[in-house]
Structure formats: C-alpha cells, structure tokens
Chains A and B, each alone.
Chain A
Amino acid sequence: MLQNIVNALVLGSSYVMIAVGLTLVYGILKILHIAHAGIYAFGAIFAVYLCEIGLPLVFAVTLSLILSALLGMIIYKGFYKHVLDRGHIVPLVMSVGLFATMEDLYRLVWGPYKRPFDVYIDLPDVMTMDLYLSSRGLLMLIVTAVVIVLLYLLLMRTKLGKSLRACSNDLGLAGAFGINTDRSVAFAFLIGSSLAALGGILVGLYDNTVYPTMGSVPSYKAFVVVVLGGFGSIRGAVVASYILALVETFVVYYFGFLLPRDAIAFLTMILLLMFKPEGLFGKVRR
C-alpha cells in the first residue's frame, strides 16, 4: 500500500515536470506543443552525453537545462510564432513534424541504443519493512517538491509570473495593457522547456536508461494531464499528475488490468473528453 503510494508519487512527479511546460504553453497560446517531449528527451540525452565525457553531474545538468531552454525558445521563435495566425491545426501538425524530426535526429546522432545514466548520487536509499525507495527516486521527489514551490513563488510573487498569468487569461488583452506578450511567451517556453528537460533527466536517472524515443509515450501522455487538469491551469496540472499516477498504479495493482498503464491513461482521457470536455478542474469554456 505505502509502496504503491510512493511509486505513484515518483511517477506523478515525472508527469508534473513535463506537464507544467505544456500547460503554460497551452494556457497562453492554445496550441498543443507535442514537440515538448522532444526537449524532454534532449535534456536527458545531452546530460548523459556530458556525463560520459567526464563533466560532473551538477554541471552537466545545468548546461543541459540551459541548452534545452534555448531549444524551446528556438522552437517558439523559429516555428510556432510564424504560424500562430493560421488556426489551431497548422501549429499542431507542425509540432508533430518537429517531434518526429527531433526523435529521428537523436537516433541518427546518438544511435538507437538504450544507455545507462551512470552517476553516483549522494543520497541514501530509503529501506524499511514495507517500503523501498532508491536514492534516485528520493532525488526525484525532492527536486519536484522544490520545483513546485519555486514555480508557485514565480507565478504568484513575481512580476514575470503576473504577466504570464495575464497572458494566459487573455493574450490580446494583456498586450493591450502594455505587457510585452512576445517576451512572456518566450519566457513560458524557456521555463517549460527547462522543466521538461529536468523531467527527462530525472526519469533517465530513476530508470537508469536514456534512449532517443524516451519522449514518445510521455509526449502524448502529458496531454492526458493537461486535459485532466483543465487546460492551462498549472495547479490543476500538478494535482492531475498525481491523481493520474495514483489511478494508474492502483488500477494495475488491484485489477491487474489487461491493458498496459499507458492505455489506461489514454482511455481515461478519451472518456473524459467525451463526458466532461472541460477537464476535471476546468471552468466551462465555450
């Protein structure tokens, strides 16, 4: 029981990392940024590469996060920005194309192999009578907790956070009130992308494998979280991440459901879209 809850918390933390960026982007631009998971994989792959050539972990992670953030911004400035006025479908299809391109590039450059993330983490393994949590799982929980608190402070207590919230409320109106919306959106991509990369790194550490297609399932699964969380609400996304992880874990554990957990998530999403299209925590929008 306790073990299941802890497993679900770890799983949920990985969803939080990738879903926050998606939620920020969807909240402001109303586009489904599928290539986000390309950045998730990039962060992990690049961090492993830096560790392999001998950089210390902290340095490798920092560098990887910075580059991922820049990559996210390039995707916005170089691609999405130019097609925003063409409806929802054009950026979405473009995003699918971008994601396919990114994944294949990683495969060609890095090789199709799974590689271990071999580093030493200075944290103890948690082991009691009925609970086992590896040091890497512990690291994931701690980092996610810190990130959630920082994100809350950023959004609620800083000027940047205020402008982000304003943009998410109504982009045009925010612009009319003198907010530099282009800069806010760029910041949303910077923050979201570096969090996605951090998520990739943490998951890579936890599973101790990193591979080019590691973003495939999270890319679409994170949208389950965005839908559950009510489209564009960060708080909703965080809560939804953990709810989804708990539901998945317990359904698999108690019912031994005949489908894999990813299919459960997608089924949940389809049913939710059909019967409660505004999401669990969303306001009714029409």
Chain B
Amino acid sequence: MSLDYFLTVSVFSMINMILALSLNILIGYAGQVSLGHAAFFGIGAYASAILTVKLGMGYWPALLLSVFISGLIGLLLGLPALRVREDFLVLATIGVNFVVVSVFNYVKFFGGPYGILGLPRPSLFGHAFTTREYALYVFLWTLVVVFLVRYLSNTYLKLGFDALREDEDAAESVGVSSPRYKMYAFAIAGLLAGLAGNLWAHYMTVVFPDNFSFPVSIGILTMVVIGGVGTLIGAIIVTILPEVLRFARDYRMLIYGLIIVFTMFFMPKGIVGSIKGLIFGDTPLGKKRVEKVRRIAGAQGRITGR
C-alpha cells in the first residue's frame, strides 16, 4: 500500500467523519432526520468551486465564504422542518437533494454534468499544499470539528436539542422554542457539511453533480445509523467502513442496504449504542448522563422546572 493511497483514504475518511458528525447533530441530537445531506455537502463544494474558479478568489476567503453560504442555505433548507414533522421532513429533504443535484446538472452557471474543473489547492505564504500537507490540514479540521461537537454536547444548546428530539410538544410547553432549535440544528449541520464539501472539493480539484446525488446521502445516513444515533464515537469508527469495503466496491450499495436493514431490525440504537447498552445497562441516557442532565437543567432551571 503506497503512501499516497493511504493519504487519500485517510483524507476521505476524515471528510466522511465530518459529514457523519454533521448529520449526527441533526439526527442524533435534534431528532430531525434528513436524507438530503449530500445536498449540503454539495453546496459547500460548489460554492467554493465557483468562488475560486469562476470568481478568481483565493482559497482562504473562499473557505470562509463557502462555509458561511452552506450554513445559510442549511438554514433555508431547514425551513420545511418548521412545518412538517418526522417522516415528511425526510421526504422534503430527499426532495431538496434531488432539486439541488438537478440545479447543478441543468443550470449552465454550475457547469452542468461536466462539473467545474481546476480548483486550486490551498496555499500558505506562497507555498501550495502537497498531498501530505493537505492530509494534515484536513486532520486539523477534523480535530476542530470533533472538539466543537464535543463542546456543543455540554452546552444548553444540546439540552434544547435533546428536548426537541424526545418530545416536541413537551419541549414547547417548557419554553424550548422548537423552530429556533430546529434552525440552529440545520444551520450547524449545514456549516459542517459545507466545510466537508470545501475540503473534499479542493482535494479532488474537480466537482461533478453526481458526487452529491442521493446515494451519497444514503451513505452518510448509513455511517450515522451504524454508529448509533446520538453517539460521537460510532460515527468516527464507522466512517472507515466505506474504505475497508473499497475492495468490495461493486457490492457497496448492497452492503450499505443490508447493514441499514439489519441494524434497524436488531439494534435500532446503532451497533455502538447497543453494545454500550449491554455494558452500561439499558437506560436510554445512561445513569451518569441523567445525573449530568439533572445538574445542568437544575442550574438553568429552564428545562424541567425542577
């Protein structure tokens, strides 16, 4: 196995981790199932492609702007979530995915089916990143995202998400504004997926509409589902799976599909979540966690009123 192959696989794995973490915020934290996550990913990639290739912007301002744009569009695409719940939100996000990909495909400005070529690699002090340096760069971003998500898990925001996920009406009744928290969730997920898209696009240096089509969304969902909704560690472990499965490339969708079906069948909490349940007892939150939630909620005095 050559170093370059290893680096490429690691870069893809790390980008997948960011994607899984980002979808996890929607599904695992806020309970808003989105099946159009590839659309956010694609918006980040295309925004950066257009800014650098078509508008001749440098990489760094383009990075900031593309992530900002994806967050903003994430917010916009989160609008349907305000009106529809659960399964119909899933349909709406699937629709969003199809619409976004067909916009990429059919609007000339986005390059059509041939995509946009020739994205620059980022450079620092006049030195363009080599593959090795780029992998390090992506690694740093992954660390940042992991710590950011870890940090979020300890904030009031996360408690709001928990409340939203467990019972929307109950959350409303104790003063957690569900539209506001839904918008937060979609904006954060959009930001992170946009970052992943940016990193991916500048690694590949080309973007095509097909890179962001619906099967990609299923792939991202698989990562989250296997990891176990709401856990961080699961998303990270499982992102390596597509790379391990690369030898079975031809059967990838089949394996994804079977994994999804059987995980839902036997371990709806996800593989990692279920094993954790076996070891630490089957409370939905875990004893320590319940204590912690009580403590924070007590301090805030806003969620439970206790």
Contact = CB atoms under 8 A, between A and B. Distances in A.
Contacts of A102: 257
A184 to B, nearest CB: 21
B112 to A, nearest CB: 11
Contact of A100 (B33, B84, B95, B257): B257
B277 to A, nearest CB: 15
B265 A263 contact: no
The size class of the interface chain A forms with chain B is: 35 or more
A98 B257 contact: yes
A266 B106 CA distance: 15
Nearest to A271: B80
A159 interface: no
A88 B87 contact: yes
Contact of B251 (A96, A104, A258): A104
Contact of B264 (A83, A101, A262): A83
Contact of A227 (B91, B102, B258): B91
B271 interface: no
Interface of B is mostly: helix
A89 B102 CA distance: 27
Contacts of B106: 258-260, 263
B80 A273 contact: yes
Given A258-B106, A270-B80, A274-B83, A100 B91 contact: no
Interface string A203-221: 0000000000000100010
A105 B268 CA distance: 24
Contact of B90 (A30, A92, A99, A216): A92
B254 A97 contact: no
B30 interface: no
A273 B99 contact: no
Given A227-B91, A259-B99, A259-B103, A89 B86 contact: yes
Contacts of A89: 33, 86-87, 90
Contacts of B261: 79, 94, 97-98, 101
A223 interface: yes
A263 B102 contact: yes
B221 interface: yes
B88 A277 contact: yes
Interface in A84-124: 86-94, 96-105, 108
Contact of A273 (B83, B102, B214, B225): B83
B230 to A, nearest CB: 13
Nearest to B102: A263
A94 B260 contact: yes
B35 to A, nearest CB: 7
Contact of A220 (B83, B98, B221, B253): B98
Contacts of B99: 259, 263, 266-267, 270
B219 to A, nearest CB: 10
B95 A220 contact: yes
B96 interface: yes
Interface in A228-284: 258-260, 262-263, 266-267, 269-270, 273-275, 277
Nearest to A31: B87
Interface string B212-254: 0011001001000100000000000000000000000011011
Contact of B268 (A90, A103, A108, A260): A90
A30 B253 CA distance: 27
Interface in B26-51: 33, 35
B38 to A, nearest CB: 13
B98 A262 contact: yes
A273 to B, nearest CB: 5
28 contacts: A82-B265, A83-B265, A89-B87, A92-B33, A93-B260, A94-B260, A94-B265, A96-B218, A97-B256, A100-B253, A100-B257, A101-B257, A103-B257, A104-B253, A220-B94, A220-B95, A223-B91, A259-B106, A263-B106, A266-B94, A266-B99, A269-B95, A270-B96, A270-B99, A273-B92, A274-B83, A277-B84, A277-B88
Interface of B: 33, 35, 79-80, 83-84, 86-88, 90-92, 94-96, 98-99, 102-103, 105-107, 214-215, 218, 221, 225, 250-251, 253-254, 256-261, 264-265, 268
Interface of A: 30-32, 79, 82-83, 86-94, 96-105, 108, 216, 220, 223-224, 227, 258-260, 262-263, 266-267, 269-270, 273-275, 277
